[in-house]
A and B are shown apart, each in its own frame.
Chain A
Amino acid sequence: MSDVATTTGETLAEPAAAPIETRAMRLKNFWSDFRASKVAVAALVVIVTLLLLAFGAPLVAPQDPYDMAMLDWLDAFLRPGEVGTGGYVHVLGTDNAGRDMLSAIFYGLRTSFTIGLSAGALALVIGISVGLTAAYFGGRVESLLMRIIDLQLSMPAILLALVLVAVLGQGVIQIILALVVAQYAYFARTTHGAATVERGKDYIEAARATPLPTWRVLFKHLLPNVLPPLIVVATVQVAAAIALEATLSFLGVGLPLTEPSLGSLISNGFKYIHSDRYWLSIYPGIFLMITVVAINLVGDQVRTVLDPRHAR
């Protein structure tokens, strides 16, 4: 260290900073990695199409299944491709009340997406709060919260949701609440796992010692660094929420047929499946399957791209 007498002017000789990487560039990198899987891109296209169809349902659907006045008993059980009293082709046929299946499926998708996305978002917020609280405060708080989570995860989600819907009653809000209670635990556990790793790092210690207020350390320092794994869990949980809602509706505790969701459509059609009227339940089933599989495929690719071991 005898050369310590070099001037500070030489500090500028340090390697220049890497070129500025903006948020836009990181997004671009993410996209080029994501694009590597053709299947995932196809799945993303499918999801976007389904979302457009679902939320544009009033514009694209030939019929409004909520409007009982538009239903005609004479149209009941039309086969796919037949023309009804409305004068248009029922591409996927009609059900026992004369509902156009294609329209019912679009509106059903809308309900399913609404429920899946809001339940997922709410569960994410609650799960993050619980997980961060447990990881940051540690000790008894952590033990208590995580044991509750473990207990809950040891029960099948469908069982918990069934009980809750039975208690809360039917309706979109009630279903969302039941799904949130059944699913927040997954987010909480993932957040807790990631936050336990991050909380030991020096930058958290530095922020605490400054000192910064606890909420700031939690939300500005800890949270942004535990977010990537949560994005993956979120996609998978949205798919799970949609499937769970369909299951509840199929079991008859979900939504009534007047507010069609994919599950209630399948449930309604199931009664006629042995009378050769397969289209009542098969088509909503296919749409449900495509939706859930597509979301999971996208989630898988996001997981791969965000994996630190994933070579660029």
Chain B
Amino acid sequence: MTAPLLEIDTVSKRFPLKATLADKVAARLAGRRAGGAVHAVTDVSLTVDRGEVVGIVGESGCGKSTLGRIVSGIYAPTEGTVLLDGKPIATGREDHVNKLTTRVQMIHQDPFASLNPRMKVGETISEGPRTHGIVSASEVTDRTRALLEQVGLRGDYADRLPHQFSGGQRQRIAIARALAMQPDLLVLDEAVASLDVSIQAQVLNLFLDLRRDLGLTALFISHDLSVVRHVCDRVAIMYLGRVVELASAERLYADPKHPYTQALFASVPTLGTGRQDFRPIKGEIPSPIDPPPGCAFHPRCPFAGPRCRAEIPRLTEAGSGRTVACHLNDGGVGQEAAA
């Protein structure tokens, strides 16, 4: 067994809330300290092997983008460590390390925001490798052309500005920019979410081709279960900052174990199966500022029992590499007290 390329070890990220003067006065009067924090990511552990694509799925606000930004080195974790090839690239608290590394590259959701509108795409692609000496000055033009062609664009597009391209083409440019750094790990943060469905398919196919040709390793963040199914080997389901289920894509789609995963699948509208009963998950996603006690999903869970309100479920083994964080899977939810 070789060591995994990426190891996320009990990483948490809290964003402190800025207390207004009124809050401070109110807190002082009530004898509390002002200011809470948004619990964006809590105790997430995850590994990604070389050549593997791991999906992270969840509703908006579940912390999946924050996790991607921690791995990319944009945010420092509040607690925990991120290891790349066994070396820490980000740690929380006292041994604070936050190395921005060329070895992890990120592809953002919105290709209209992620490219500098006043820089030619050729320069956008080549400036990273040039500053880090990945290519020599004489090779830059050829390599930029080659990268553009690799992502399905024409090499002479290098002289154009981003506003001359469509969304799909821009996302290809963003992919070329990331690949130019020859990263060990790609983080795709909702990389196709803002594209039309037909363009999504094209960009996903490009990603699959590149993966096959270059042996890419990636963290694929998405809210779209059907997209994730096509590109990921393993999938982690996140809810309110925690991983609730982690399994191979095949097993997860065949047999979701966690009630939240089941609810997610039930809420995906499908065409052609004749199924009309698309069921949204009841209730609202709770506030990450003040997460519910016990299992964060219990206010919306159809199976919730007293234990769910009191005890945070741990990720436990549920057979063949799958882990689930649910009391149903770990000794039951407990009996309701008789009325």
Contacts and interface: CB of A to CB of B under 8 A. Distances in A.
Contacts of A225: 116-118
Interface in A169-214: 201-203, 205-213
A15 B205 contact: no
Interface string A9-37: 01110110111110000000000000000
A8 B165 contact: no
B128 interface: yes
Interface in B161-181: 161, 163-166, 168-169, 172, 174, 177, 181
A216 B200 CA distance: 32
B265 interface: no
Most buried by A among B72, B102, B105, B181: B72
Interface stretch (B6-14, B31-39, B79-87, B106-114): B106-114
A1 interface: yes
A227 to B, nearest CB: 8
Given A1-B226, A14-B168, A212 B131 contact: yes
Contact of B74 (A203, A209, A220, A221): A209
B155 interface: no
Contact of B201 (A1, A17, A203): A1
A225 B115 CA distance: 12
A225 B200 CA distance: 29
Interface in B147-194: 152, 157, 159-161, 163-166, 168-169, 172, 174, 177, 181
Contacts of A202: 108-110, 113-114
Given A11-B152, A205-B108, A4 B100 contact: no
Interface in A211-237: 211-213, 216, 220-221, 224-225
Interface string B19-55: 0000000000000000000000000000000000000
A206 B209 contact: no
Contacts of B102: 210-211
Given A1-B230, A210-B105, A216-B127, A205 B119 contact: no
Contact of A14 (B100, B128, B181, B202): B202
B152 A12 contact: yes
A49 interface: no
Interface string A103-119: 00000000000000000
B333 interface: no
B202 A8 contact: yes
A201 B127 contact: no
Interface residues of A, number: 33
A276 interface: no
B202 A11 contact: yes
Contact of B177 (A6, A17, A205, A206): A206
Nearest to A213: B131
A17 to B, nearest CB: 5
Contact of B165 (A17, A201, A205, A211): A17
A7 interface: yes
B281 interface: no
Given A10-B202, A220-B127, A205 B168 contact: no
Given A1-B230, A210-B102, A216-B127, A17 B119 contact: no
A1 to B, nearest CB: 5
A216 B152 contact: no
A201 B105 contact: no
A201 B108 CA distance: 11
Contact of B227 (A1, A7, A8, A11): A1
B206 interface: yes
Given A15-B166, A209-B72, A216 B131 contact: yes
Nearest to A225: B118
Contacts of B127: 210, 212, 216, 220
Given A6-B201, A208-B74, A211-B102, A17 B164 contact: yes
A207 B178 CA distance: 11
A8 B74 contact: no
Contacts of B117: 203, 225
Nearest to B224: A1
Nearest to A228: B118
Contacts of A67: none
A202 B109 CA distance: 9
B73 interface: yes
Given A3-B201, A17-B160, A20-B164, 20 more contacts: A8-B202, A8-B205, A10-B202, A11-B152, A11-B202, A17-B164, A17-B165, A20-B159, A202-B108, A202-B109, A202-B114, A203-B116, A210-B102, A210-B105, A210-B131, A212-B128, A213-B131, A216-B127, A220-B119, A224-B116
Q: Which 7 A-B pairs have the closest CB atoms?
A: A211-B100, A202-B114, A202-B113, A224-B118, A210-B128, A11-B152, A202-B108
Interface of B: 72-74, 100-102, 105-106, 108-110, 113-119, 127-128, 131, 152, 157, 159-161, 163-166, 168-169, 172, 174, 177, 181, 197, 199-202, 204-206, 209, 226-227, 229-230
Interface of A: 1, 3-4, 6-8, 10-12, 14-15, 17-21, 201-203, 205-213, 216, 220-221, 224-225
5 contacts: A6-B201, A6-B202, A210-B127, A210-B181, A212-B131
